[in-house]
Amino acid sequence: MSSQFISFPKDFLWGAATSSFQIEGSPLADGAAKSNWYEWTKTPGRIADGTDGDVACDHYHNYKADVALMKLMGLKSYRFSLSWPRIIPERGRVNEKAIEFYRNLIHELNQAGIVPCATLFHWEVPVWAKGEWENRETAVAFQEYAEVVFKRLGKDVKIWATHNEPVVVSLLGYIWGFFPPGIMDRKIHARVVHHLNLAHGLAVQTFRQMNLGGEIGWVQALTTFRTTSTDPKDLQHAKNMEALHNGSYLDPSAGRGYPPFFFDYAKISSAEYEKDLKTIAQPLDFLGVNHYFPTYTRYVPGINLFDNDFTMPDGLPINDLGWPVVPEALYELLASLWKTYGFKKLLITENGLPTRDSVRSIEETIEDDLRVYYLGQYLANCHRAIQEGVPLKGYMAWSLMDNFEWCHGYDPRFGLIHVDFKTQKRTFKKSAKWYQKAIAENGFDVGLLPQNPSYKIFKAVGANARNF
């Protein structure tokens, strides 16, 4: 072994992740209800390339073959989500065919020796949930859905997550307006955050009451907040942005209540939120960390609803979506989470690289040295965190396969496995083969990663409104 070979703990959980709407296709099959995302994709102008998730990777029909590919890759775990509108087509009624689909998928995974990691909510809200997360009743309906799932599937799944990236739901749906329902309102945003937190707490309570064994946590999109300024206003603004993005979910979950800036930002009283804090603060078995880039801050009142200039410093490497590539930010984030909250178990539940068909050849897409380099650099920072005592127990690459990437459509590809969306042919990319070898050896040689990665270099031109 090279002196640059890094080994991971023997029980390290190597995996990959997907979500239901992004890969399953057949969103209305077998009696499923429409979701908010189904309707969003049918609204002209909402999806960059005008596509939808009606077929996607057709995983609904190809799940057995896809699990076989996971086994071939050597995955130890697979993180996927359940479709709430597929399982509960109307409140109080269970779609048995949907339960059968997920039961069969879970069976295939267990038979293949792959640990199923199931997420209850990855952004799909049934259309019957009027008002979506603005409505407190949606949190109660989510608890009812969780109870159904735990009763039917709980004994066969050992790792559960309630929500995936609720901060993305709240910010992109209720501040930026890019995701459904397309609202831009600070007060409504606060209400949505609270109801997402409440739904999470209620679901965890239900899980504990059923004594199912296994583990439950939730998955957060987390980032570090940086500023190149020394102005005290900018330094404080970075702290405020971190409180709003990270703290609005982590703090109440940890029993600390909401950060003060949460209420200052929305210009609301804390009184109506306090009655639910005990329910929200349920002990968790793990925190799932989704991380792609650090966020840059500078206080510019009125530039957007955050009063934040997101412009990055010149010279940063960026990926095909313009996101900064800063591997050490993942190490910094993990160390900070451990120090600040004392989590006993962390999992990287998403981390990955987009490449775009519109700027890269098919050869470069499949022989993806850039993704190999990216994964290696980020995993090396995971290893660094582990060496310093951070209880990081697994890494799940985003994503298992190319899929429907929400408002971007199909142009960005995050997959280890290439999908030809016309033929549904799956092909292992170079990154899949590298990951396969890393799993088999429980580590990799940092010195053998591809050199001279073909990142773009950021050049600041004016003030950008966002960097996602």
Q: What's the full length of the chain, in residues? A: 468
Tell me the angle at which helices 96-111 and 136-153 cross, rounded to the nearest 10 degrees.
50
pLDDT for 462: 52
In this prediction, residue 467 carries a pLDDT of: 42
Dist. CA 288–CA 290, nearest whole Å? 7
Query: Is 350 among the catalytic positions?
Result: yes
At residue 463, the pLDDT reads 46
pLDDT at 3: 78
> Would you state the pLDDT for residue 298?
96
Residue 465 is predicted with a pLDDT of 42
Please pick, among 108, 132, 165, 405, the residue that the annotation labels catalytic: 165
CATH numbers and ranges of domains, the chain: 5-457 (3.20.20.80)
Could you say which of 24, 108, 350, 405 is catalytic? Answer: 350
> What does the alpha-carbon distance between residue 398 and residue 435 come to, in Å, rounded to a whole number?
12
Q: Are 122 and 54 in contact (CB under 8 A)?
A: no
* pTM for this entry: 0.97
Report helix angle 327-341 to 369-387, nearest 10: 30
* Coil, helix or strand at residue 444: strand
Rounded CA gap, 120 and 111, in Å?
A: 22
Residue 254: what are its φ and ψ, rounded to 5°? -90, 5
pLDDT for position 460: 77
Write the DSSP assignment of 356-404 as a string of letters. Answer: ETTTS-HHHHHS-HHHHHHHHHHHHHHHHHHHTT--EEEEEEE-SB---
pLDDT means over runs of 10, the chain (468 residues): 87 98 98 98 97 98 98 98 98 98 98 98 98 98 98 97 98 97 97 98 98 96 95 97 98 98 97 96 98 97 94 94 97 98 97 96 96 98 98 98 98 98 98 98 97 92 48
**197 near 254, Cβ under 8 Å?**
no
Please, where are the H alpha helices in 48-129? 59-73, 84-87, 96-111
| Axis crossing angle, helix 186-209 with helix 136-153, rounded to the nearest 10 | 30
